[in-house]
Amino acid sequence: EVQLVESGGGLVQPGGSLRLSCAASGFTFSNYWMNWVRQAPGKGLEWVASINKDGSEKYYVDSVRGRFTISRDNAKNSLFLQVDSLRAEDTAVYYCGRPDGYRATDVWGKGTTVSVSS
């Protein structure tokens, strides 16, 4: 079964850091780009970051560039999002996703929740 499972979320103070992980199974992880998408409480979906198959290309939404870092470990079938200098507006459910050949995300994890509050 193709599956993505996120972990690493939690409650953190403003300015803090977390490392989000996404464990992939059921497919050849190294053959796919990967995404992070987030959703603030009661709000819509926001793309956060993407990484290519070998990790040599990374793209970010402007609001997180310089604070968040996407990475992957193909040997461990894992995707990561290092989130630093967290702000209240980063509070959201963070989903990892696998884009298909048409770049649409056809596999999603269930999400991990990041709450930024003092």
Partner 1 sequence: DIQMTQSPFSVSASVGDRVTITCRASQGISSWLAWYQQKPGKAPKLLIHAASSLQSGVPSRFSGSGSGTDFTLTISSLQPEDFATYYCQQVNSFPITFGQGTRLEIK
Residues at the interface with partner 1 (CB under 8 A): 35, 37, 44-47, 50, 59-62, 95, 99-100, 102-106, 108-111
Q: Confirm if 89 and 40 have CB atoms less than 8 A apart.
A: yes
Look at residue 29 and give its three-state secondary structure: helix
* Min dist. Cβ of residue 34 to partner 1 (A): 13
Q: Which is nearer to partner 1, 73 or 100 (CB)?
A: 100
* Min dist. Cβ of residue 81 to partner 1 (A): 15
Per-residue HEC secondary structure of 47-90 comes to EEEEECCCCCCEEECCCCECCEEEEEEHHHCEEEEEECCCCHHH
* Min dist. Cβ of residue 69 to partner 1 (A): 16
